[in-house]
Amino acid sequence: MRRLIFLGAPGAGKGTQAKLLSEEMKLAHISTGEMLRSAVSEGSELGKKVGAIMESGQLVPDELIVELIAERIKQPDCENGYILDGFPRTVPQAEALGAMLGSVKPTVILFEVTMDDVEARLANRRSQEDRADDSDDVQRERLRVYQEQTAPLISYYDEQNMLTRVSGAGSIDEVFQKLLQALA
Ligand code: AMP
């Protein structure tokens, strides 16, 4: 059973690659961002709590996300393994996941991209999708939040020898081939 964590800046290609790999390897694709956006559009209790936070580019509270993931990875579609896309995003989230998994060590894939790439991709996404959290200012805030709260996970996992680096430069297919090689 494969348990993968996809890590990388907003716009690094995590979501696109997670979708492709989940189909290729028959893994559940767990995107916390997608789960939260569904909660917001359904108007659920969770959605009401997180809507404004997401629109501002901030992270939603760790407890909420950890609870969401704890329930999600118990679902039957995760039996063959799963890809966590967008979780963990803080060191406390990573610690909570570690506690959930016990001695099982997931593989952490870091998609490495330059800031120029990130900006070009985000501009492209802005022109193609209608995401309330993708305005210019909010994107900048999300990048800042990434640097401050999520980037520390790179050394957190590197120190535990759990990190595999994949270059996120190039076309979707080029990156996918590199990802498959890294996992082979
Ligand atoms: P994403 O689609 O992964 O970029 O997530 C969109 C938004 O959902 C983020 O900007 C956060 O507000 C929220 N979010 C998604 N995943 C997490 C997480 N693991 N921890 C906290 N907030 C999250």
pLDDT score of 7 more than 80: yes
Which pLDDT tens digit goes with each residue over 91-139?
A: 999 999 999 999 999 999 999 999 888 888 878 877 777 665 567 888 8
Which pLDDT tens digit goes with each residue over 152-165?
A: 999 999 999 999 99
Query: Who's near 11: CB < 8 A, 6+ residues apart?
Result: 113, 117, 118, 119, 121, 122, 125
Active site annotation includes 125: yes
Ligand 1 atom closest to the CA of 31, numbered from 1? 3
pTM: 0.94
Ligand 1 atom closest to the CA of 54, numbered from 1? 12
Which pLDDT tens digit goes with each residue over 28-66?
A: 999 999 999 999 999 999 999 999 999 999 999 999 999
Mutate to test the pocket of ligand 1, among 133, 145, 147 (most ligand atoms within 8 A of CB): 133
pLDDT score of 149 more than 90: yes
Percent helix, strand, coil in the chain, to 5, is 60, 15, 25
> Pocket around ligand 1: residues whose beta carbon is below 6 Å from it?
10, 32-33, 36, 53-54, 57-60, 65, 86-89, 93, 133, 142
Q: What is the pLDDT of residue 132?
A: 56
Active site annotation includes 14: yes
Distance 24 CA to ligand 1 centre (A): 25
Question: Can you list the domains of the chain with their CATH numbers?
Answer: 2-183 (3.40.50.300)
In the predicted model, what is the mean pLDDT of residues 62-91? 97
Active site annotation includes 126: no
Q: What is the pLDDT of residue 117?
A: 85
Q: Nearest C-alpha to atom 6 of ligand 1 is from which residue?
A: 33
CA distances from 82 to 43, 63, 111 (A): 27, 21, 17
